[in-house]
Amino acid sequence: MPEINLIPWNSAPDYDDWGWDDYWTCGQWMEWYDALVAKFGTETARYIWQYAWDKGNQFKFIGGSHLDCRLNAAFADFAEQNGLNVSSVISSVYLGTFEVAESLGEGAKRTATIIAWLIPILLIMAVIAIGYLVFQTIKTGKLPIKT
């Protein structure tokens, strides 16, 4: 019996918008890719899928609803096995931290989990601090840090 894909090849991805709404899960993105491969073959499917993924993910550094998928190890493995580029700086560090932690044991794994969640928070705080310094410099004409 043939495999049944819940997401047909001719579906349009449902991207996340602000507020409460529906959007595709990681599994739906994977199902859609499989349906595209069955319809068009690997090369064309990869092109269509990558275009749709990038279109809904303008902020590749931190971004959109896709961030959850990029931090999902099963999804990251799926993307890597199929030659799909879904990584970002944060997801690479996050998933890399877990790979190192798995080889070190349970205590290190918990520590790595905490660190992996702190990295995006610290990056956001750094961007806010830099934005504040730039704003104050523009507003006063002087650098707000005394040297």
Residue 29, both tokens: 């993105």
pTM of the shown model:
0.56
C-alpha–C-alpha distance, residues 14 and 139, integer Å: 41
Residue 35 banded pLDDT, cuts 50, 70, 90: very high
Q: Between 128 and 147, whose confidence is greater?
A: 128
Question: What's the whole-number average pLDDT of the chain?
Answer: 75
Residue 19 confidence (pLDDT): 66
Residue 140 banded pLDDT, cuts 50, 70, 90: confident
Tell which residue, 96, 40, 45, has the closest CA to residue 70.
96
Residue 66 banded pLDDT, cuts 50, 70, 90: low
Residue 110, both tokens: 């918990």
Residue 41 banded pLDDT, cuts 50, 70, 90: very high
